[in-house]
Structure 1
């Protein structure tokens, strides 16, 4: 057969194969809306960050829970996230892998062992180092080391508060957002924010929220929502244009004395994340890990 005839046929067949492969990949990858862009949840690059609140909320003596201590719930939530991360990598073609997972605090604990453990939980996985052995290391590390972190913090008994507002203001862009990645921040907190070095007030908007603040401003009545709107209560926005970030807030644990406390905390967080234009967010109370596992994995993998 004449080469002038064969060449176009071969070229056509090649492009058809490429097109078919792309169709198969798209069928195997679920689409989600991320800002104004549609992204593929299987082939995309994940950049997952944890932000831990190591304030006295994790103290089992001050805030005991006979069913399951709150720090143990945190540890289990972290493991569920890491399992979703590994599942994502296993379902991804090796040449497409370029994914990260890491863990942060603000402020950093004084205990250097805690900081060393957090550094050992930073993994960058790409096509050069991706392997079954590395995935096993990630799973084992996230199964064991977060518990060590919490136990060290509890044993130190030197709770320095939660400076999440300052983390959003100064660090979130550099630490948690990468180009060409699906950026997910997992925040483990009871919902209250307070640090002695970051106490700013602008009218009724603040950089902190405590149970005492809610009581003092009478946000513990059935009119709490109208009061928030009329008096402009809320967090001061700490960042802007966070469209390329998804946030999952886990562990909200309101003061049980106020039946409206949980609603107030969630309203504060929703308004804050909305004002900072966070691309997608969900806020969940501190439920048992067996019930939270599906919520976490659906958020990351679906």
Structure 2
């Protein structure tokens, strides 16, 4: 217990280095990252505003879009402001409690994001494979309950991460070569055994995200089977169009996330700054593009947005 107390007292502050190897370019790198963040923030806030103020959009699909927007705003906002302080003002210090808090909320937001995408695939499955019962199966109350289950799952899955980090001994090395307190980035600064941290991170990656992807793939296999049974080409196109936005969002979210997680553990021979830049783009690109994707693909939403922006 004495050793644990000594360890925590000595590591009251960590140093976030930003992007090691590219320190001289920090200011230039910050410009596109900040622009991506602002565009994503404005896009998702606009989406929330329009959906909240239009009674005709009080539907399960738009409730899911609100959940998606909230998770994307939360995930990016818990990381980007601190990263900008590093890039612009060279303020690299972060307290241990602040670091662990950032770890928890960032990873919790990522797991919740995956849960929302899974629920969206279920929504699309019912809409295409069982359209006559859609309004009775997919209700706002049911979507809200699924969202709550997803939130509880995210909290329970991620809560052990800061607890596992807190038990580690941090000797002299308080430097985190990253722009934010990612679970494995913090664990690697420890002079103790981080095998449990590595294993738990992999379990979350493959058991949570992997299972979500399996269920999403199952939903879409049933969707495509149902679509190809339809004889009408026009009905074919209409059914597939209802899924394109969701598929686009998944392609922007899952592959970069898996690449980032794998590089963290098996990144020998890869320049660290490549992983760090990819990790930052992972939570900046989807929030920036998702409102655009849904705005383009969803005519009802596009018309409502135009009502506010174009004054008609």
Q: Which has the higher helix share?
A: 2
TM-score, normalising length from structure 2?
A: 0.30
TM-score, normalising length from structure 1?
A: 0.31
Q: Which has the higher strand share?
A: 1
Greater Rg by CA: 1
Q: Which has the higher contact order (CA 8 A, sep 6+)?
A: 2
